[in-house]
Amino acid sequence: MSSSWRPTGRDLLLLVALTLMWGVNWPMMKFSLRELSPLWFRAWTMTGGALVLLAFFAWRGVDLRLPRARWLSIAWLALPNILGWHGLSIVGLSGLPSGRAAILGFTMPVWTVMVAILLGEQRLSRRVFISVVAATAAVGLLAAHELNDLAGRPVAVLWMQGAAFSWALGTVLMRRSNLGLPMESVTVWMMLLGSACFWVIAPLNEPFPDVRAFSGGLWWSLLYGVVLNYGYAQVIWFGMAKRLPPSASAFSIMAVPVVGTLTATFIVGEVPRVTDWAAAACVMVAIAAALIPMRAQSKP
């Protein structure tokens, strides 16, 4: 992949849509967790999203057949991209304010660049060092706040960092894969495999939810997760992760923590603190520092 990537108008529109959908999704998920336990939430929304995508792509005439020889490869990609990220992040979110969880989860672009360096796709530079320091500062700020807060959940910080690393690894592996299948097919089958795992894990760890007790607000929140977060946004993200450089795909989510922190006030009543804004600023500096080499190298 050439380092001279330049976003098209369509790319920019998709980036804005993805940022808004994923940013709002964090407080929406937190709203859902008031009535629904984390693993059951993932099982319900991911299954619904996978079925929506399956029906939509079948209607569009996309070849969704999965050759037997590709099952193992899809499963390996689903492990970090779906089970790792979505499982660890929802557990982490259950113990943190949604804006804070979003900030921690979206240190992912820094991890993406670091994984790419380890795999020889990018070179270590001073900019990457700055990026790592800034991301570490963000995590340190929020971890310290959780340790100092009597109601804090510092372990949830570790869950979110595990989720961020898992997503980063999955993003790089997705780009390196050569399955010979439509990205729509890969996305649907990864989500279906992930859904099956959550339906096995959830009843082993959490009581079965009482659907009759679900409020109207919860149903709307679940619909948001199915149609937008798992429906439209997943297609955008995996398409970008496949065809763009690691740094370029990471650029798409730079403002998600800010959107999540801002909208959390209106959706779940969370008031951001100074440390939250400082950590969000550190994450944006970290992502920007990681991206500068790509942009600089593209100049003639």
pLDDT by residue for the chain (300 residues), tens digit each?
A: 444 556 567 777 877 888 889 899 999 999 999 999 999 999 999 999 999 999 988 998 989 999 988 999 999 999 999 999 999 999 999 999 998 898 888 888 788 878 888 877 777 777 777 888 888 888 888 877 766 664 557 788 899 999 999 988 998 888 888 888 888 899 899 999 999 999 999 999 999 999 999 999 999 999 999 999 988 887 777 666 566 655 555 555 677 888 888 899 899 998 888 888 888 888 888 877 766 554 444 333
Q: How far apart are CA 51 and CA 47, in angstroms?
A: 6
On whether the CB atoms of residues 108 and 44 are closer than 8 A, the answer is no
What pLDDT is stored for residue 295 in this prediction? 45
Token digits of residue 104: 């921690």
The residue type at 45? T
Domain assignment of residue 3, yes or no:
no
Taking the mean position of all CA atoms in its chain, how far away is CA 17? 14
Identify the residue whose tokens are 């607000």.
Answer: 217
What pLDDT is stored for residue 250 in this prediction? 55
Residue range(s) defining the domain that contains residue 279: 9-297
Token digits of residue 38: 């984390």
Taking the mean position of all CA atoms in its chain, how far away is CA 136? 19
Q: How far apart are CA 239 and CA 182, in angstroms?
A: 10
Domain assignment of residue 96, yes or no:
yes
Q: How far apart are CA 191 and CA 186, in angstroms?
A: 9
Token digits of residue 186: 């890969």
| Burial class (CB within 10 angstroms; exposed 0-12, middle 13-18, buried 19+) of 196 | middle
- State how many domains the chain has: 1
Domain assignment of residue 1, yes or no:
no
Domain assignment of residue 23, yes or no:
yes
What pLDDT is stored for residue 162 in this prediction? 95
What pLDDT is stored for residue 87 in this prediction? 96
CB contact set of 290 (below 8 Å; sequence gap of 6+): 109, 110, 113, 127, 128, 131, 247, 250
Q: How far apart are CA 107 and CA 286, in angstroms?
A: 8
Domain assignment of residue 185, yes or no:
yes
On whether the CB atoms of residues 264 and 99 are closer than 8 A, the answer is yes
What pLDDT is stored for residue 152 in this prediction? 55
Domain assignment of residue 2, yes or no:
no
Of 29, 56, 51, 24, which Cα lies nearest the Cα of 40? 29
Domain assignment of residue 4, yes or no:
no
Question: Longest C-alpha distance within the chain, in Å?
Answer: 62
On whether the CB atoms of residues 266 and 26 are closer than 8 A, the answer is no
What pLDDT is stored for residue 26 in this prediction? 95
Domain assignment of residue 127, yes or no:
yes
